[in-house]
């Protein structure tokens, strides 16, 4: 099983009988260690269904599942390989009744939450509601509820006070709608384990070994959940493996905390710490730049990456007159490397930056040069209005108490039920403290609404009940495909899309999205799951209703990213976990990377932490590169309407590669490139003349 593993990797794989922390440096083969450890646990007699490997994204889980299958075959399908949120859903569907949650609860997405917060806070201002959303999410990740958050509000901090008041109303609404948000998928399972010993015992018995990937990205609530799952404080020999890298902790703004790494040896005194320092991705000079940059940060567990791949190309630092000029130089570098290196494919190149807006000029320059590209982290398939409409129907089929889903489904498409009728129905439901769907069949509703309105509502209610019955009894891909096609025909969804769009071309594209979504749903009913990594896996055949219940958890539909031969443009945050032969970091100036650290003035501790996290972000960017790395900065950039002078980021100096670093003059490079093209053209002309 351990063929091809180095000594440290083997040690991590073979340590089975206690708590283990694997400090996996960038490119050191952590997924390999996790999958081999799953195989080793099975070999040592642990049942596959008692092993849980938890990661942070659907894509990472899909990749891990596929690699485990390649290593251990059929047994891999019984291993729980999922995200923290998916595990939370599993726990709540099985045991949420202890918290008053029915098994068919709804999961609200970010837009639903925003609309609900506007309603609770009585505002139409999206920016205010988004600030509440951000604050409430942070509080939930810290394990606070509305009352504890209110108690912690300092005198005079009216913004926090109002957020806490809105949070109280928001939680009441969620309970009434039998709904949860994404933060609840961690917070509520934790509450289950804390307050219900029988549930805690059940899950501790069910899980023989827990592996956590990207451990440095866990927040306070996730750590508490992990501790209770593995039997803390009663089991000092708790069997788990946390795999992470303190140097790649870049999600502090999302609640992730390095405290979780500090606490591990305290909470688990017998913790075995194993460092993976051999990097299999990058050349020596790239790693030297990375080690030098991260050097000034305080170390919880010091480590130094090294590579057996040789020194390779020197790291290049490129300055440009301004941002447009910088984008042109990026294009020139891609063209030059494609002409003169072994990597000719566009997918071998990535351009990374700190903030989303920096992609605009790069896109313009690439389009001008007819270089194909994609912007990573674009609109998710599930964020499109037509898909959200269909998901609202599915949520309502699964949970009829979900009022936000009810309101969206009943108006998409519109069915002659007006805004006034829905407002009256909402008031009636509020008065009797029941859901809008339940209110629809109330014996006293005809006394509150006109007959025509009641007839329309009853017709919708009957249709939905019939649809739910059919969705429950429809299983398998072919039957699901037929069910979904008939349903779309019944509700005239194609006509609704064409009627609501002025452009026929846009309407056609939206309808194509709908058909793709239905095909994807049908595949899942048939047990074939095609995930974002382009990985196809088999699972059991399910009903349309079962798939509908988990739709909100699936954030992106398969786009077969690995098949696209295009240059990747990506923020540094979105690039984590990925790698390319050639990487260019652009806009590396003070104020951009590190990003606006001057905002933290007056708070020296906060400033220090911000700079340390930005330094880790630079480290992540550097370690994405396999064969070549260029770091560029513009001498001037646009700030609002002004053009301001900039200075190179302190991180460029910290790379400390004065000897090995080449300060590139692209004018000379371009001259050489033109001469090379001219030479090839002349040779080609001479060859034609001879024939």
Question: Which of the residues are catalytic?
Answer: 30-31, 213-214, 248, 624
Cis ω for the linkage preceding 346 (within 30 of 0): no
Q: How many Cα atoms within 13 Å fall on the side-chain side of residue 197?
A: 1
- The closest alpha carbon to 217, from 613, 600, 531, belongs to 613
The Cα 148–Cα 137 span in angstroms is 14
φ, ψ (nearest 5 deg) of residue 110: -60, -40
Which whole-number Å values give the CA distances from 574 to 197, 251, 585, 618, in the listed order? 39, 11, 13, 13
Which whole-number Å values give the CA distances from 394 to 7, 197, 409, 550, 664, in the listed order? 50, 34, 9, 9, 56
Partners of residue 628 on adjacent β-strands: 582
The Cα 147–Cα 651 span in angstroms is 43
Which whole-number Å values give the CA distances from 131 to 354, 450, 654, in the listed order? 22, 40, 35
Query: What is the number of residues in the chain?
Result: 691
Helices (H) and strands (E) in the chain, counts: 29, 21
- The closest alpha carbon to 405, from 462, 464, 357, 365, belongs to 464
Is-contact 559 532, C-beta < 8 A? Answer: yes
Residues 6+ apart with CB under 8 A from 275: 8, 23, 25, 301, 303
């Amino acid at each position: 099983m351990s063929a091809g593993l180095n000594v440290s990797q083997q040690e991590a794989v073979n340590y089975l009988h206690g708590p283990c922390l694997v400090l996996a440096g960038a490119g050191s083969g952590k997924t390999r260690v996790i999958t081999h450890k799953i195989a080793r646990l099975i070999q040592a007699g642990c049942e596959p269904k008692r092993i849980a490997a938890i990661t942070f994204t659907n894509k990472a889980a899909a990749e891990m599942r596929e690699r485990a299958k390649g290593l251990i075959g059929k047994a891999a399908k019984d291993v729980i390989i999922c995200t923290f949120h998916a595990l939370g859903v599993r726990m709540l569907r099985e045991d949420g009744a202890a918290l008053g949650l029915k098994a068919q609860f709804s999961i609200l997405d970010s837009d639903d939450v925003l609309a609900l917060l506007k309603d609770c806070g009585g505002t139409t201002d999206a920016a205010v509601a988004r600030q509440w959303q951000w604050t409430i999410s942070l509080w939930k990740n810290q394990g606070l509820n509305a009352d504890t958050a209110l108690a912690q509000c300092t005198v005079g901090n009216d913004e926090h006070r109002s957020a806490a008041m809105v949070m109280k109303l928001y939680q009441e609404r969620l309970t009434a709608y039998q709904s949860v948000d994404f933060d609840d998928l961690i917070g509520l399972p934790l509450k289950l384990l804390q307050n219900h010993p029988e549930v805690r015992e059940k899950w501790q018995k069910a899980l023989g070994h827990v592996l956590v990937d990207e451990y440095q990205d866990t927040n306070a609530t996730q750590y508490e959940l992990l501790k209770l799952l593995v039997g803390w404080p009663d089991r000092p020999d708790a069997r788990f493996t946390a795999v992470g890298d303190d140097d790649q902790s870049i999600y502090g703004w999302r609640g992730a905390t390095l405290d979780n790494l500090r606490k591990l040896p305290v909470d688990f005194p017998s913790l075995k710490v194993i460092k993976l320092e051999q990097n299999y991705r990058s050349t020596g000079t790239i790693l030297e730049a990375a080690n030098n940059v991260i050097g000034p940060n305080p170390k919880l567990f010091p480590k130094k990456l090294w590579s057996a791949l040789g020194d390779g190309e020197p790291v290049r630092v490129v300055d440009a007159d301004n941002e447009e000029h910088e984008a042109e130089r990026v294009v020139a570098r891609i063209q030059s490397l494609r002409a003169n290196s072994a990597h000719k494919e566009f997918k071998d190149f990535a351009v990374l930056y700190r903030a989303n807006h920096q992609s605009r000029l790069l896109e313009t320059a690439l389009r001008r040069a007819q270089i194909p590209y994609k912007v990573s982290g674009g609109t998710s398939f599930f964020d499109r209005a037509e898909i959200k409409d269909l998901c609202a129907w599915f949520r309502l089929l699964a949970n009829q108490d979900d009022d936000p889903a009810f309101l969206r489904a009943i108006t998409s498409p519109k069915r002659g039920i007006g805004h006034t009728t829905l407002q009256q129905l909402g008031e009636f439901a509020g008065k009797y403290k029941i859901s809008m769907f339940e209110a629809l069949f109330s014996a006293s509703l005809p006394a509150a609404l006109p007959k025509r309105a009641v007839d329309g509502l009853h017709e919708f209610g009957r249709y939905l009940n019939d649809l739910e019955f059919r969705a429950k009894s429809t299983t398998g891909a072919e039957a699901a495909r037929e069910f979904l096609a008939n349903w779309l025909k019944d509700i005239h969804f194609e006509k609704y899309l064409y009627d609501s769009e002025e452009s026929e071309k846009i309407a056609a594209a939206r309808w194509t999205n709908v058909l793709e979504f239905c095909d994807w749903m049908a595949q899942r009913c048939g047990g074939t799951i095609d995930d974002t990594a382009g990985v196809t896996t088999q699972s059991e055949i399910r009903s349309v209703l079962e798939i509908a219940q988990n739709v909100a958890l699936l954030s992106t539909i398969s786009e077969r990213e690995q098949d696209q031969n295009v240059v990747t443009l990506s923020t540094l945050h979105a690039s984590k976990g990925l790698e390319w032969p050639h990487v260019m970091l652009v806009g590396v100036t003070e104020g951009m990377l590190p990003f606006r650290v001057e905002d933290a003035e007056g708070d020296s501790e906060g400033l220090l932490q911000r700079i340390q996290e930005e330094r880790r972000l630079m480290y992540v960017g550097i370690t994405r590169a396999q064969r070549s790395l260029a770091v560029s900065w513009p001498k001037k950039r646009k700030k609002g309407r002004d053009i301001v002078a900039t200075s190179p980021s302190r991180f460029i100096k910290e790379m400390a590669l004065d000897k090995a670093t080449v300060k590139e003059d692209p004018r000379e490079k371009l001259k050489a490139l033109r001469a090379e093209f001219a030479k090839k053209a002349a040779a080609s002309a001479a060859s034609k003349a001879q024939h």
